[in-house]
Amino acid sequence: MISPRDILAAHILIVDDNQANVALLSQLLNEAGYHNLSATRDPFSVCDMHSTHAYDLILLDLQMPGMDGFAVMHELQQMETGGYTPVLVITAQPGHKLRALASGAKDFIAKPFDVVEVKTRIHNMLEVRLLYKQLEQAVSTLKSIALHDPLTNLPNRRLLMDRLQQARLASVRSQHHCALMFLDIDHFKQLNDTLGHDMGDALLQQVSARLLACAREGDSVARFGGDEFVVLLDGLSLQPGVAATQAEVIAHKMLTALGQPYQLDAQAYNASLSIGVVVFLGEQDAIGDLLKKADLAMYQAKSGGGHTVRFFDPAAQLPTHVSPA
């Protein structure tokens, strides 16, 4: 529910070329308890102001020199494509009501207006606007939950697959190579068995933070499941050999960072990581095959003692399933 305090704190913009009208509306709103008010007599500035401040309500006069309220609403509609345009029109021309509503206004008040009616319409419109924003936030939160791992807040497998597909398509256009890293914490099961799952969760969170610190801007770090992480590097070199070297540098940076001691319940804990890497270009390989190749290379790193990096060997057989040690 929207509280009265939230409504009175809403950000309102008054747009009218007549200073007397601005002063009257400002006084009326202040007396009603609204305290977050802005005003402009310049209709050309409305969209820039709304872009900066995201007003909860715009009280808009229709008849202004140079740019009338209909033109202002048209520009606001362009800004708020698919969204909610919070405009309440106030005009001395009641015949403009239907056109104003068709142009995007959410409500209409004719001058001279009744003070009680104005206050009621503003209150009701703000309540709807804030409920709409509340709904948008709830939808955004649900989308985030659906696409992110709840423990680490990293992208989950579903979001990773989408980003991997986008990286493949972008690579086709740019001809820049990408790299997919499959990472697995060495001996993680032993940690869970000896210190408990709470300590295991704490380690996963710290590993996530260090991986993010090592990644470049634009790279994707995802939790694939359990103690498995995937890092997607895009925008690497046009040359496969140089791209592999770039990926190797980042992988060794991760090994160094993740090899430092962790603090688990005030005690130091040492952990290591095995990393498998496959370099790719465009859509030559299916997404599933890329993941299998990186997984196989990671398994080879584990078999070599862990805490190391292995690149996929094209001569290796692709198993139908690879289980980390």
Q: Which two tokens stand for residue 256?
A: 């160094």
The residues that are catalytic are 227
Q: Which two tokens stand for residue 262?
A: 């962790």
Burial of 191 (0-12, 13-18, 19+ CB in 10 A): buried
300 touches 323 (CB < 8 A)? no
Residue identified by tokens 């993740």 is 258
DSSP state letters, 235-288 = S--SSHHHHHHHHHHHHHHHHHHHTS-EEETTEEE---EEEEEEEE-TTSS-HH
Handedness of CA 15, 21, 27, 31 (dihedral sign): negative
Long-range CB contacts (< 8 A, 24+ apart) of 305-309?
A: 306/186, 306/187, 306/272, 306/273, 306/274, 307/186, 307/255, 307/259, 307/272, 307/273, 307/274, 308/255, 308/274, 308/275, 309/248, 309/251, 309/252, 309/255, 309/275, 309/276, 309/277
Q: Which helix (H) or strand (E) element contains residue 132?
A: helix 115-147
Q: Which two tokens stand for residue 115?
A: 């003070």
Give CA–CA dist 70/82, Å, rounded: 18
